[in-house]
Amino acid sequence: MNSIRRLNKAAPAAKRGGPPGEVRIIGGRWRSRRIEVPVAEGLRPTGDRIRETLFNWLGQSLAGQRCLDLFAGTGVLGFEALSRGAQSVDWVERNAPTARKLKATLEAFQSSDPLAGQGAVHHADALTFLHARRDRAYDLVFLDPPFAMNPWFDLLPRLAPCLADGGRVYVEAAAKPDALNPPPKGWLIIRESRAGAVWFALLQCEYSQADPPDSLPQSTP
The H or E element that residue 79 is part of is helix 76-83
Q: Is residue 59 included in any domain, yes or no? A: yes
In angstroms, the CA 109 to CA 103 distance is 10
- Residue 204 located in a structural domain: yes
Total number of domains constituting the chain:
1
Provide the residue-wise pLDDT of the chain in tens; the chain has 221 residues: 444 333 333 333 333 334 458 899 999 999 999 999 887 765 667 999 999 999 999 998 999 999 999 999 999 999 999 999 999 999 999 999 999 999 999 999 999 999 999 999 999 999 999 999 877 789 999 999 888 888 999 899 899 999 998 899 999 999 999 999 999 988 999 999 999 999 999 999 986 554 544 444 443 33
Q: Give the residue from 212, 66, 69 showing the smallest Cα distance to 130.
A: 69
In this structure, is residue 221 part of a structural domain?
no
Give the per-residue pLDDT at 43: 66
Q: Helices 96-112 and 76-83, interaxial angle, to 10°?
A: 20
E strands present in 104-182? 118-123, 138-143, 163-173
pLDDT at residue 133, as a whole number: 84
Is-contact 44 197, C-beta < 8 A? no
Secondary element (H or E) of residue 117? none
Query: What's residue 5's pLDDT?
Result: 36
In a domain, 218, yes or no: no
Q: Where are the alpha helices (DSSP H) in the chain?
A: 12-15, 48-58, 76-83, 96-112, 126-132, 152-159
Alpha carbon distance 106, 120 (integer Å): 8
In terms of Cα–Cα distance, which of 212, 200, 64 is closest to 139? 64
> 72 in a domain, yes or no?
yes
Q: Is the four-CA dihedral 21, 25, 29, 32 of positive or negative sign?
A: positive
User: Is 215 domain-assigned?
Assistant: no
- CATH code of residue 35: 3.40.50.150
Contact criterion met (CB below 8 Å) for 174 and 219: no
Closest CA to 133 of 148, 150, 120, 145: 120
Identify whether 213 is preceded by a cis peptide bond (ω within 30 of 0): no
Q: Tell me whether residue 220 is in a domain.
A: no
40 lies in which domain range?
A: 7-208
* CA distance from start to end of the chain: 23
Answer yes or no: are the C-beta atoms of 93 and 122 closer than 8 Å. yes
Q: Report if residue 213 sits inside a domain.
A: no
Total-model pTM: 0.84
* Of the candidates 103, 83, 90, 101, the residue with the CA atom closest to the CA atom of residue 141: 90
